[in-house]
Chains A and B, each alone.
Chain A
């Protein structure tokens, strides 16, 4: 028996295997605990979303050495940034904009830079910090063949992450540029197609630590 109301109540069943999707109150992309796929509600249809899992000791270490880790989901976008001084379209140009001295292999330097936008729920400051640190590091993760038992709930859609991407990229830009109003007026970030990536973190004293990047958020 259905209620008489105009609300749309859609049962969340995996279109691939029929299993129940795991959906918290604010989640927007739902994992199927049975077949490991991810689905997003588009209108009233559930559509498949690909999630790439970064290699980590929780999935790829030998069974005896595996350890439990927290998997956090991120949206990863290749981006171009428009600035008063011209377009930033390569990792090399982006690092110069950010004032970073990190060195990357020559082939990679000429590729589009990537912005990492958290897709999980956390305090606003923590989200911006996590996105800023990962974007500045521009890490290249290996792809894991395994499927993690659990990834932190995804509460930001791709469109939400695009809106957040400009704030994340701007947070990485050198301060002397950022405070210039003319720079800000011209500054705009255009993102390419986004991918979902889960990154493993260790819990360490109430903080999360990424061992490969030695990065704490």
Chain B
């Protein structure tokens, strides 16, 4: 069973003469525990594909399945996209996007509480995870006072805390130096393997994809090879 699969995914922006086809018949399939990189130049459609797969910005046409569930078919979203993301996906952003008024621990625990886990249990699981990521001393710190690397590690913790089926990471090392970037990638790789989670990472830095199982290349909205 694939963790996530997309077939014939198209994304068209605009209409008529101003129409831009951002994704052209994109096909991708990632197994549980598999680590996949999505590479390509700027404007090639990597982020559009991540947005489409997560239904943040659904495709114009295509087929997407998460596990056994078809979540997009033809031109229709077949599921509650937010519920799908909070229960089955972890998403990591280039700019970390931690909620500024929550502490590091609360940012992570939030995902659990959104899924109905009690605050007490959520904090217990969060603190355990943060300890593992060497972030325990920073658990009660607000994001504004965390370093970039620490913020991204908290963002990774937020993405994995709910044992999702798929992690989608959009340029997670884009704002970090090479050393910190590699540390974040190592963490993703390690957590992905342990939790048997499919990890799709958008990057254009080849130094970051060492040890990845597969690399998809994108050009002009098409996946050209993998």
Co-assembled chains A and B: no
The chain B residues found within 8 Å of chain A, CB to CB, are none
Question: Chain A: residues with CB nearer than 8 A to chain B?
Answer: none
